């Protein structure tokens, strides 16, 4: 599969990632699904809702040691709102993006544990406050992340 996007989408994600640095940013991507791939239509930046409460609901007792510098969360009500908006506009939620600050654009174990099938997981790496790299990942049948090609249009 290929994820197609426009330069302005890339710019929105990069700007969001640089604004929240050194904390991780996150957001939802809406678009169209075809048999050949996904086309991004809109980037919806969301708030990083990671906090102690979110952490407490997750498995493992090390989660409280993490902050928004290493973790992100999208509030369930924000996700529902995005689903509604997508439906109204005849689009799909095609994935989630988040940033890794001073870390490469490679999914962490935590990212993998929480990932859903079919979504694209865009990760943007922000080094010293500057967004420098972006990769997209999808789960394969054995719940392992595989890199997905990003095609820039326009």
Residues near 138 by beta carbon (within 8 Å), at least 6 away in sequence = 1, 118, 119, 120, 121, 145, 146, 148
In the complex, least distance from residue 51 CB atom to Zn ion, rounded to whole angstroms: 17
Choose between 15 and 70: whose C-beta lies nearer to Zn ion: 70
In the complex, least distance from residue 102 CB atom to Zn ion, rounded to whole angstroms: 12
In the complex, least distance from residue 88 CB atom to Zn ion, rounded to whole angstroms: 29
Where do contacts with Zn ion occur on this chain (CB under 5 A)?
Answer: 108, 111
Choose between 32 and 54: whose C-beta lies nearer to Zn ion: 54
Sign of CA dihedral 125, 1, 152, 25: negative
Q: Which residue, judged by CB position, is nearest to Zn ion in the bound state?
A: 111
């Amino acid at each position: 599969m290929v994820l197609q996007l426009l330069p302005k989408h890339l710019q929105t994600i990069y700007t969001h990632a640089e604004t929240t640095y050194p904390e991780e940013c996150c957001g939802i991507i809406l678009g169209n699904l075809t048999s050949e791939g996904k086309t991004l239509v809109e980037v919806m930046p969301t708030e990083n809702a990671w906090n102690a409460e979110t952490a407490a609901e997750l498995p493992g007792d090390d989660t409280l040691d993490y902050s928004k510098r290493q973790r992100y969360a999208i509030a369930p009500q924000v996700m529902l709102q995005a689903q509604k908006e997508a439906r109204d506009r005849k689009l799909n939620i095609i994935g989630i993006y988040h940033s890794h600050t001073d870390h490469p654009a490679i999914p962490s174990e935590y990212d993998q544990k929480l990932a859903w099938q079919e979504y694209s997981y865009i990760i943007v790496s922000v080094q010293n406050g500057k967004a420098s790299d972006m990769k997209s990942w999808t789960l394969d049948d054995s719940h392992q992340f595989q890199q997905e090609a990003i095609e820039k249009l326009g």
